[in-house]
Amino acid sequence: MKAAAVGDDFSNNLEQFEVDSRIVYPSYKSFDEFIDVPRLRSLDAYIADGIKRHIETQKEDYFINYYRLDENTPYQPGVREIWLSRTKPGTPYDYLDLDQTDLWERTEAAAEFSLLMDFIETLPFKQKGRMLIIYDDAGLTVPAHRDHVESEICHEFIWFRTNLKKPFYVLNHETNEKKYVESHSAWFDSVNQFHGSDAYDGLSFSIRVDGTFTDEFRKLIPKPEFNLASMPSLWACIS
């Protein structure tokens, strides 16, 4: 599947897929019980300083918002990214490759954040694919969006942060109920459920690592009989 781009038809953006009746949106699964939160918190100033240095010296990459809830919101809202891994040269772009771990390699930016990379090694991944820091210091929002529209594809990822500043939410767009993530880490259904972040006055950031969870970790996760993308919400709702 090709990712949507500016001017593409938005009719599939609001397409709904059937999910297990036990699932309620909005919902997310905190991973705080599975990760070393004190170690993560201890990296707060280190990562903030690294981002500030990066802003001064490096070319900026921008977050791209494909599957927006409201097509009138910006495709490129201005929130920036630091890519800690990229696909190897010659790999054609396909968003759905973000967990194809063989395609990815660390970037030079990863060396600027070596303590963060050491922390990432402690996460329950067998292999890692895309790794990036998403940050903003200009009071911008990330409009509500979903990450893709393939309901039988579930990306295994951990979204995490060293502080709780970023007002990041998951959204039930039918009831308009927003749930702000309150934990340092989360895995969430990024397909059946929209998500985004509100503006924050100052520097805010989060990190997302995609890959393949370890077999041991996978055993903890309840698997839906259909709509694999809903797996994080099924886990959140029955645990």
Q: Catalog residues that contact Fe ion under the rule CB under 5 A.
A: 147
112 vs 140 by CB, closer to Fe ion: 140
Q: Of 145, 120, 157, which is closest to residue 231 (Cα–Cα)? A: 157
* Cα–Cα distance for residue pair 81/44, rounded to 1 Å: 17
Residue with smallest beta-carbon separation from Fe ion: 147
99 vs 147 by CB, closer to Fe ion: 147
- Shortest gap between Cβ of 45 and Fe ion (angstroms)? 26
112 vs 233 by CB, closer to Fe ion: 233
- Shortest gap between Cβ of 75 and Fe ion (angstroms)? 13
112 vs 134 by CB, closer to Fe ion: 134
- Shortest gap between Cβ of 67 and Fe ion (angstroms)? 9
- Show the tokens assigned to 152: 């039988």
**What is the C-alpha R_g of the chain?**
17
- Shortest gap between Cβ of 147 and Fe ion (angstroms)? 4
136 vs 147 by CB, closer to Fe ion: 147
- Shortest gap between Cβ of 65 and Fe ion (angstroms)? 8
